[in-house]
Amino acid sequence: MARNSSTTRSALPDLHSSDEAQRLEVLRNYQILDTPPEQVFDDLTRLAAFICNTPVSLVSLIDSDRQWFKAKTGFDNIEGSKREFAFCNYAMYSDDVFEVEDASCDPTFQTNPMVTAAPSIRFYAGAPLVTPEGHPLGTLCAIDTVPHRLSDSQREALRILAREVVSHLELRRARLQLEQEQQKLDGLLRMANNAADSLYFDNRCEIFIKQDHKLVRVNTGDIRYVEALGDYVNIHTARERFTVYSTMKDLETKLPPRDFARVHRKYIVRLDRIVAIEADSALVETERAGQPVPVPIGNSYKAVLLNRLNLV
């Protein structure tokens, strides 16, 4: 009968313990489960299979109720298994390479469905994947369908390769964290830029109006109200009236929104120039008229206008 495990087996921990919950949280923080194959991990399994002289090698990660293969050589049609059937569930808690020379003769595994049926495992050797903080994630393992035994140099190579797997998991996590931090930073920069743009546009205090083949600068503080007139708009300032080819919608975007309000489909008024509201009209102060000019208030605009006024 072939000699079996070359390492002392520890009892499996309570799957409902706080340690297991912490282990699973650490595993998920790597954001590795159910991700596509990656060349670096595939290469390590090929190297492990070559060194251990086995047809199968896996990077196996143990989730709450399953084992999932991040990389594999062999086992082409198998993506994982139930955790309760996983040799790696035992191996990841081992202090060293966990080796089963003939699973069909091993009391722990001889009735395991992965031994009694396909893929008919006989030999298994797994080096635990342990994080720098000491949390076991799974194993790098070598598997054969015939009894087998590793040499000391093969075991040492498997240990080294397992450490390489962990190193690449760490690098991968660090890269993802950097990418996520960069995304957060980009988001903050966009917010800052949007805030700056908003501040700029909210505080813009002048517009340029085309008049007689020239551009006239008008301080928005001088504008009292804007009136639509067909394809044109009249911009009424304290002393003048400018007629420009534009739309109310376009002009509304060019005026500081904190100072102006649309009160009618045909009128925009400067809020601090409203001296009174009577019935359905806003009385707007102008120096040209000598007395306030009534500007109609549309029914659909009245509530919004009143909400913007400092009512007592």
Q: What is the pLDDT of residues 48-83, one digit of tens each?
A: 999 999 999 999 999 999 999 999 999 888 888 999
pLDDT at 165 over 80: yes
pLDDT at 188 over 70: yes
| Residue 13 DSSP class | P
Domains assigned to the chain: 18-180 (3.30.450.40), 206-308 (2.40.50.1020)
Share of the chain above pLDDT 90, in %: 60
Q: What is the pLDDT of residues 264-291, one digit of tens each?
A: 999 999 999 999 998 889 999 887 667 8
Residue-level pLDDT at 72: 96
Residue-level pLDDT at 197: 59
- CB–CB of 115/109 below 8 Å? yes
User: Which residue, 99, 96, 17, 30, is CA-closest to 64?
Assistant: 17
Q: What is the pLDDT of residues 125-154, one digit of tens each?
A: 999 999 999 999 999 999 999 999 999 999
Residue-level pLDDT at 291: 84
User: Which residue, 278, 280, 301, is CA-closest to 291?
Assistant: 278
Residue-level pLDDT at 311: 75
b/e sequence 168-187, b meaning 16+ C-beta within 10 Å: bbeebeeeeeeeeeeeeeee
